[in-house]
């Protein structure tokens, strides 16, 4: 029953998350052939915005919106972890709140150990997602061509028994992706049939919390505090060096140290600003739901119309949309046309069920006669 309900969903959403350079954009490109989703070179961070691309699954006929997200990586000058969290949260909260059918969390099997950035990404992801949604999560390892089989197998077992264990225990599944189309389609095949759900961060934001007061926001704030501690230590060392250079009257060294100090001060300001922003950012749900809620009628209570208002508007087939090739968040204009479409579908549904109710009434009346 669950599968058939989702199969007829009007829209299917699958998000890709994970550290930078793990192949999120590459995975989407492989399925959609969308060159507008930019792929990075080597370990350079590439994606800065939440972007979407539509993949049409020929097996089910479903139109799947793949959501590309940037990996959390605070070494970038153009975007901070605060920006990334805010962009992801905004995308999820737009349009009356988006529900995801699945989330693919990627990890490079070629990494010899799980470094700081990978750990941070996983911690944020876990808090963002919440345990309830882990059944809709696939932990996908990439870059298999860069490791020997034995090494890959042992790292995979290590991941499954350590950092991924709590997620697997709560319902997430671990899979391999070899950069081929078949493996990408196979990963997608079970995910798109999942019942869509709401992430923990959405529930927290809906209850009126600031971004910094959400569980995922708290992880970012912790990271910022650790960074501030590091900066404070560096500043202390720098001041000592500056004093020494002043006593030695070493002009060149003093000039170099002054530059270092300026740079460090900028980083400290950035960290403070990000912390302030997290504490004051609210991301409420956007415009009203695409399928407006209404008071149940008699036909609803009889169970006929129940599926129509589940999740993202089930039992309605989506029109063949032009693939969304942008790498920027969806604009409100889209929400407007979606709402119009949903209203139209709702109206057709109303006419249909009114007709059914009329026919039932006539048949019942004639049987009574």
Positions touching ligand GTP (CB under 6 A) are 20-26, 39-42, 45-47, 70-71, 142-143, 145-146, 177, 179
Residue 23 interacting entry, from Mg ion, ligand GTP, none, C-beta within 5 to 8 Å by type: ligand GTP
Residue 17's nearest CA partner among 118, 157, 165 is 118
Question: Residue 96: left (phi > 0), alpha (psi -120 to 50), or beta?
Answer: left
Q: How far is the CB of 21 from Mg ion (least distance, A)?
A: 8
Residue among 52 and 299 whose Cβ is closer to Mg ion:
52
The runs of H, that is alpha helices, within the chain are 2-7, 24-32, 81-93, 116-129, 149-161, 165-169, 181-191, 200-206, 215-247, 251-280, 298-301, 332-368
138 - beta bridge partners? 104, 173
In angstroms, the CA 213 to CA 355 distance is: 50
315 binds, among ligand GTP, Mg ion, none (CB under 5 to 8 A by kind): none
Of 209 and 326, nearer to ligand GTP (C-beta) is 326
CB of 16 to ligand GTP, least distance (A): 8
Residues that bind Mg ion (CB under 5 A): 24-25, 46-47
Least separation, in Å, of the C-beta of 93 and ligand GTP? 21
Q: 3-state class of 188 per DSSP? A: helix
Q: At 132, list the tokens.
A: 């309830």
The entry of Mg ion, ligand GTP, none that residue 179 binds, CB within 5 to 8 Å by partner kind: ligand GTP
Structure-block tokens of residue 89: 């949260």
Q: Which is nearer to ligand GTP, 145 or 263 (CB)?
A: 145
Q: 155 is in the binding site of which of ligand GTP, Mg ion, none (Cβ under 5 to 8 A by kind)?
A: none
Cα within 13 Å of Cα(251), Cβ side: 0
Pick between residue 30 and residue 100 the one whose CB is nearest to ligand GTP. 30
Q: Which is nearer to ligand GTP, 13 or 144 (CB)?
A: 144
Shortest distance in whole angstroms from residue 17 CB to Mg ion: 11
């Amino acid at each position: 029953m669950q599968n058939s309900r989702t199969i007829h969903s009007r829209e299917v959403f699958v998000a890709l998350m994970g550290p930078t350079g793990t192949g999120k954009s590459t995975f989407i490109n492989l399925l959609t052939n969308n060159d507008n989703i930019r792929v990075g070179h080597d370990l350079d961070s590439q994606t800065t915005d939440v972007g979407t691309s539509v993949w049409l699954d020929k097996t089910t006929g479903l139109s799947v919106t793949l959501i590309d997200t940037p990996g959390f990586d605070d070494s970038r000058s153009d975007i901070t972890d605060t920006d990334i969290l805010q962009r992801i949260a905004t995308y999820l909260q737009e349009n009356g709140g988006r529900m995801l059918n699945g989330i693919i969390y990627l990890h490079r099997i070629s990494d010899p150990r799980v470094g700081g950035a990978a750990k941070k990404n996983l911690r944020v992801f876990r808090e963002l997602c919440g345990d309830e949604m882990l059944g809709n999560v696939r932990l996908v390892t990439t870059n298999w061509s860069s490791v020997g089989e034995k090494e890959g197998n042992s790292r995979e077992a290590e991941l499954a028994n350590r950092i991924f264990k709590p997620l697997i225990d709560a319902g997430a599944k671990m899979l391999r992706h070899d950069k081929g189309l078949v493996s990408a389609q196979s990963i997608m095949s079970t995910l798109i049939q999942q019942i869509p759900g709401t992430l923990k961060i959405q529930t927290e934001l809906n209850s009126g919390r600031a971004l910094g007061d959400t569980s995922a926001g708290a992880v970012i704030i912790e990271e910022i505090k650790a960074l501030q501690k590091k900066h404070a230590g560096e500043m202390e060392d720098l001041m000592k060096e500056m004093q020494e250079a002043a006593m030695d009257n070493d002009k060149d060294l003093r000039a170099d140290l002054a530059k270092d100090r300026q740079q460090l001060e900028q980083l400290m300001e950035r960290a403070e600003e990000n912390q302030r922003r997290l504490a004051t950012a609210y991301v409420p749900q956007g415009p009203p739901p695409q399928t407006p809620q209404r008071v149940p009628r008699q036909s609803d209570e009889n169970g006929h119309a129940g599926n129509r208002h589940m999740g993202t508007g089930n039992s309605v087939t989506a029109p063949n949309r032009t693939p969304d090739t942008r790498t920027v968040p969806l604009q409100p204009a889209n929400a407007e046309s979606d709402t119009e479409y949903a209203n139209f579908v709702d109206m057709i549904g109303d006419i249909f069920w009114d007709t059914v109710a009329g026919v039932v009434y006539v048949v019942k009346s004639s049987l009574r006669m």
